[in-house]
Amino acid sequence: MTEFSGLKLAQPILRAIADEGYTTPTPIQGKSIPPLLKGRDLLGVAQTGTGKTAAFALPLLHRLAENAGKPFSRQPRALILAPTRELAAQIGDSLRSYGRHLRLRSAVVFGGTSSRPQIRALAQGVHVLVATPGRLLDLMNQRHLRLDAVEVFILDEADRMLDMGFIRDVRKIAAALSQRRQTVLFSATMPKSVQSLADGLLRDPVRVEAAPAATTVEKVDQRVLFVAKDKKRALLSKLLADKDLERVLIFTRTKHGADRVAKHLHNCGIRSDAIHGNKAQNARQRALRGFRSGHIRALVATDIAARGIDVEGVTHVINFELPNEPESYVHRIGRTARAGATGIAISFCDHDERAYLRDIEKTIRQQVPVIEDHPYHVAEIAHYRGTAKGRPQRNKRPSQGKGPSQGKGQRRRNSRRPRRTAGLAA
């Protein structure tokens, strides 16, 4: 299919899509929507930024629109499970956007905030419930919610769900669902643990892929800078002195590390904030709003907190610390180059992170180009890394000596906003 109009979606949904300015589905949307409209179970392998939220949200809304009716108190007809608060909130926003012309009610429930408004919403009745596992089980245990009327169960970012230790919660939730349901599972990667979960939840599923599992987004320009651990903050400050790094997402491995980096940037006069699991939900939402609006130039995040961050126009992702799981690198850099745009991912690698870099390159099946043109370059780390034959990998200055932020012409091309006709981004 080349147009949304050819996917046989309900007219109110097509109107909402047109309101957003979209005409053409992304590959994952084009592959997923037809079988989901037929009621098939589906296993989707799709990286972040490919439009997978719309891939399951549009057919779900179409199904409910055909026979909406009044929602039952405490008994949703569809359940979408997400690993983090931010992702759950993003999915809720997408449902409201695509369903704006439909008389459907949805609610989002997650921890870190009062449950009272969530309980009231469930009591009034919702067609679609978006939830994180912990808060959902709490509400079920308190008898504010029953799942036996759920017709469609969607599990998003299953790999991260398992990484975060939610496997038992997911199985408990699935056991409370009706056996007569449609089940959809999306994951950016497909390790054996996710495949095992899918085998237990799905019945004769259609499998669709937008890109091979655990490969990076092709439009992300990746670079690695070798630097001593105690010089990383100084290097970060120098990079951010370049105004072409307009909207930057910075990753650390720990919550305390995120706070320290954000404080350092603030002291350097760079508008920044941190987002992680120890932050109150209103503080996390405030930081995201500031990042989206441009009031905050740099947002520092941990891997878990960053799941669900869907901010248009992220020009750069900086891995202040490399992740110890190579799949997390894929998720991180996918926060730029979304919905057809291009972007740049810069990774700092110190002496102790060399093995992480090796695992990442093995996973993405390519070497990340090295940038030596910075004042904190450590040649010994570069020499250790080597090539497949053991010779050191050395790359010249990028873009005629412009350093990590490209030449002017290339920067202009990379800073363009995505074309909406390329497909729904969420």
Q: What is the pLDDT of residues 404-416, one digit of tens each?
A: 444 434 433 343 4
Q: Which amino acid is at 236?
A: L
Range of lowest pLDDT (19-28, 332-341, 416-425): 416-425
Residue 400 has pLDDT above 70, yes or no: no
Domain ranges of the chain: 4-209, 220-417
For the residues 383-406, what does the mean pLDDT come to? Answer: 43
Residue 401 has pLDDT above 50, yes or no: no
CA–CA separation, 325 vs 363, rounded Å? 10
Residue 390 has pLDDT above 70, yes or no: no
Domains 4-209 and 220-417 share a fold: yes
Q: Calculate ∠ Cα 256-262-267, nearest 5°.
A: 125
CA distances from 157 to 43, 53, 103, 134, 394 (A): 11, 10, 28, 16, 36
In CATH, the number for domain 220-417 is 3.40.50.300
For the residues 186-201, what does the mean pLDDT come to? Answer: 92
Residue 369 is classified by DSSP as P
For the residues 26-32, what does the mean pLDDT come to? Answer: 94
Note the pLDDT tens digit of each residue in 224-257: 999 999 999 999 999 999 999 999 999 999 999 9
For the residues 355-368, what does the mean pLDDT come to? Answer: 90
Please indicate whether residue 299 or residue 189 has the higher confidence score (pLDDT).
299
Residue 419 has pLDDT above 80, yes or no: no
Global pTM reads 0.68
For the residues 116-144, what does the mean pLDDT come to? Answer: 97
Which string of b and e fits 276-308 if b means at least 16 CB within 10 Å?
beebeeeebbebbebbbeeebbbbbbbbbbbbb
For the residues 148-175, what does the mean pLDDT come to? Answer: 94
Which region, left, alpha or beta, applies to residue 48 given φ > 0 means left and ψ of -120 to 50 means alpha? beta
CATH of 4-209, one of 1.25.40.420, 3.90.320.10, 3.40.50.970, 3.40.50.300: 3.40.50.300
What is the per-residue pLDDT for 403? 41
Residue 119 has pLDDT above 80, yes or no: yes
Please indicate whether residue 165 or residue 129 has the higher confidence score (pLDDT).
129
Residue 424 has pLDDT above 80, yes or no: no
What is the per-residue pLDDT for 69? 87
Residue 402 — very low, low, confident or very high, per pLDDT cuts 50/70/90? Answer: very low
Backbone φ, ψ for residue 316 (5° rounding): -140, 140
Residue 179 is classified by DSSP as S
| Average pLDDT score over the chain | 86
What is the per-residue pLDDT for 189? 82
- Locate 406 and state its tokens: 């490209």
Q: For tokens 């490919």, name the residue.
A: 50
